[in-house]
Chain A
């Protein structure tokens, strides 16, 4: 009988897959991008650098990788985690062969783009890491698998193992989970920032080293870089703290992505929000918008938020919020403004900005040109200046603009059979 899975060895594969897929679903990352690879000789599988989504779950999140835990029999007891030691949930552990077969069979049917393998910590971090690496090694070496592999780095694993993981995996990630060290140690007594930063820094340094040597023969090291994830709403950090931390990850650890996950209450624990709390989906959305501003719109975190406004406005997107705080920059003249400035106009995205910059080389930009090339003017019209703008609208008054930008309350049909009397406004 298997030592790790006392009741699990007779469990059938389908049941295991359900348990271990279910246990992995709170990990947000699903991307299969950033790594391009031809199928190895005699093998199968390729990497597409843009990434490919294969399907979308009923909650609207894309599924591109077979995202599973190797095992959910965790020895840690983190308050926010569904797999913590003190929870009474069914436990299961894959065998290597099962997981390799599953990955290959799913891949051949084009269900998935590759494997996202994580695990609860069993035995020691090193032991767990070795289990994960063995799956990746079997796929890459024995089956000549060229698809995408995302391996979790287990905090506390030794450098030798992390290095080997980097050779097989396309991307690796260590989740910060809680955006401040003190809260993390409070909620997850066995973890701290030092143990999380160590593998991150190790990967970032090795990758730099590898990139500095431009040799074709060098095996590739984590071609798709690394990512991390933070839970939003389980502890009391401000949005400023979260953005500052993620900005640091982008700069220092060369992270490709920082994911945010609105806390879904899975455990009742007095250190956490009550179990009936709704996941903060809107806050999560605003954080992603701010994250996009940092990654694609050349914003700095301290432009988006500062000490006087430490939290994002839930009613307005962060770009509009920034624009209203800087009326001196607007309206922007689309005919002459820099690309960077056009990018900062609320409502104009990267694609529209590029279209504008392209099209203005050929002709004067007018309102109907913008409409024609598909620039959405709903919000942008208040912030731009073009030859059709009347002279009276060439200044921006934030206090007048704000109510125009807010979403209008939806009109609703009244219920004919509602027994409660309707209250009419006096």
Chain B
């Protein structure tokens, strides 16, 4: 059994599949090189032999054509979207689907949503698309002193280039950049073209942006506007967290300061206190209990 290593791009993965077919390889696992992903890149399987496959544009193109001919453009897009999830098993799932697809006799197989191989891919692709859609609203630009707008995001999936087109259509005249601080790269738009840029040291960039943005009057106004929009009689922290998961709060100026309440609470984002309003109800309950306990001890 082989544990196949590749460069973590989609072309790289297609080349892997191509070679698997060409050389009749016995695949046990497909492992991408991702420095930020601790699970996939640092654990090597003791019982598998590592085997590296280099990316070849030519073979990626040939496989793309084969998939599109057999299953259609939309299935190919689905596979590509599912691949963006970067989940540990996604490569093997796609490989399983492709094997069935190329072996299948009935033309129905390609699009059957309930088939054993298609279903997990469909679910994954859905999750990726959902995050990309939500991210359109959750990107927050900070204005730098030279008039550029820069945004840091930390999405779960690798979706930067899925959202760039939207922002190019929306801000065609400004200069802006969206940086994925987790993956260390981003998209930069100079007023005419977008290009992908490497960001070798995201932490430093974050610090720089934070220093420049702290004096932005409009960010402060947005924050206080946001707080005034909540109707106190209807507070609903559970609903809030369902709609706006805590993992995104770090890069949203309007919720950033609430982040500490949640993590101090009880570990994994389970704080009970009211979110968004200063006084938390939790400490008062604890104090009440302690007082009662003390009274019991005396009697």
**A residues at B contact (CB < 8 Å):** 13-14, 17-18, 21-22, 25-26, 38-39, 42-46, 48, 50, 52-64, 66-67, 102, 105-106, 108-111, 113, 262, 264, 278-279, 281, 355, 358-359, 361-363, 369, 372-374, 417, 419
Contact = CB atoms under 8 A, between A and B. Distances in A.
B136 A52 contact: yes
Given A108-B149, A109-B142, 4 more contacts: A48-B136, A55-B226, A60-B238, A108-B174
Contact of B230 (A14, A42, A58): A58
A58 B232 CA distance: 8
A264 B230 CA distance: 12
Given A55-B137, A109-B142, A17 B224 contact: yes
B231 A264 contact: yes
Given A106-B222, A281-B234, A25 B228 contact: yes
A361 B238 CA distance: 39
A102 B136 contact: no
Contacts of A22: 228-229
Contact of A13 (B221, B231, B236): B221
Contacts of A44: 170-174
10 contacts: A25-B231, A46-B170, A53-B134, A55-B255, A58-B276, A60-B240, A106-B222, A110-B141, A359-B113, A417-B292
A111 B142 CA distance: 10
Nearest to B134: A53
B19 interface: no
SS of A interface (majority): loop
Contacts of A66: 225
B240 A58 contact: yes
* Most chain B Cβ neighbours within 10 Å, of A50, A59, A355, A359: A59
Contacts, number: 161
Contacts of A38: 169
Given A42-B173, A57-B226, A372-B114, A106 B218 contact: yes
A14 B217 CA distance: 9
Interface in B234-271: 234-240, 242-244, 252, 254-255
B137 A373 contact: no
B139 interface: yes
Contact of A54 (B108, B137, B236): B137
B143 interface: yes
A109 B149 contact: yes
A377 B74 CA distance: 30
Contacts of A21: 225, 228-229
Nearest to B142: A109
* Most chain B Cβ neighbours within 10 Å, of A39, A60, A281, A359: A60
A14 B221 contact: yes
A111 B274 contact: no
B243 A56 contact: yes
A308 B191 CA distance: 64
B224 A62 contact: no
Q: Lowest 10 A-B CB distances belong to which pairs?
A: A58-B276, A60-B239, A58-B230, A60-B236, A54-B137, A59-B234, A57-B230, A359-B114, A362-B112, A52-B137
A160 to B, nearest CB: 32
B222 A109 contact: yes
A38 B172 CA distance: 10
A67 B237 CA distance: 22
Interface string B167-181: 101111110000000
A58 B113 contact: no
Nearest to A51: B137
Contacts of A58: 227, 230, 235-237, 240, 274-277
Contacts of B292: 417, 419
Contacts of A111: 140, 222
Contacts of A52: 133, 136-137
Contacts of A113: 137
Contacts of A18: 224-225, 228
B66 interface: no
A361 B289 CA distance: 61
Contacts of B224: 14, 17-18
Contacts of B172: 39, 44
A113 B174 CA distance: 17
B28 to A, nearest CB: 26
A344 B256 CA distance: 43
B234 A264 contact: yes
Contacts of B219: 109
A62 B243 contact: yes
Interface string B81-106: 00000000000000000000000000
A253 B116 CA distance: 47
A264 B142 CA distance: 36
* Most chain A Cβ neighbours within 10 Å, of B133, B141, B173, B221: B221
B46 interface: no
* Most chain A Cβ neighbours within 10 Å, of B115, B236, B252, B255: B236
Contact of B140 (A42, A57, A110): A110
B15 interface: no
Contacts of A105: 218
A18 B119 CA distance: 48
Contacts of B228: 18, 21-22, 25
B298 interface: no
B244 A55 contact: yes
A111 B230 CA distance: 16
B221 A373 contact: no
A243 to B, nearest CB: 23
A136 B133 CA distance: 27
A17 B225 contact: yes
